[in-house]
Amino acid sequence: MPVDMYKSVMSYILMGKTSVQLDQYVLSTCDATQYPSLYLRLNQTWFEVKPSTYLINATYQNLGDDY
């Protein structure tokens, strides 16, 4: 995804939410009801990408020394 498009999409998704970017991840609240669906059009078909698809709940999952 082009950088300008990525910035627009992330701005739309994070609308007013506090977040921190860590490598390729953006950390913020994981309440999927607080995020919008994304709509993508490929050829003549629209696709809905729901928050439950693009969010990863990584809240304090202790796996040995890694969280």
| Higher-scoring residue by pLDDT: 67, 23 | 23
What distance in Å separates the CA atoms of residue 57 and residue 60, rounded to the nearest whole number? 9
18-53 pLDDT per residue, tens: 777 767 777 787 778 888 999 999 999 999 999 988
Q: Is the pTM of this model over 0.85?
A: no
pLDDT over threshold 50, residue 67: no
Taking only Cα atoms into account, the Rg of the chain, rounded to an integer number of angstroms, comes to 14
pLDDT recorded at residue 50: 93
Domain segments of the chain: what residues? 3-54
Residue 9 has pLDDT above 60, yes or no: yes
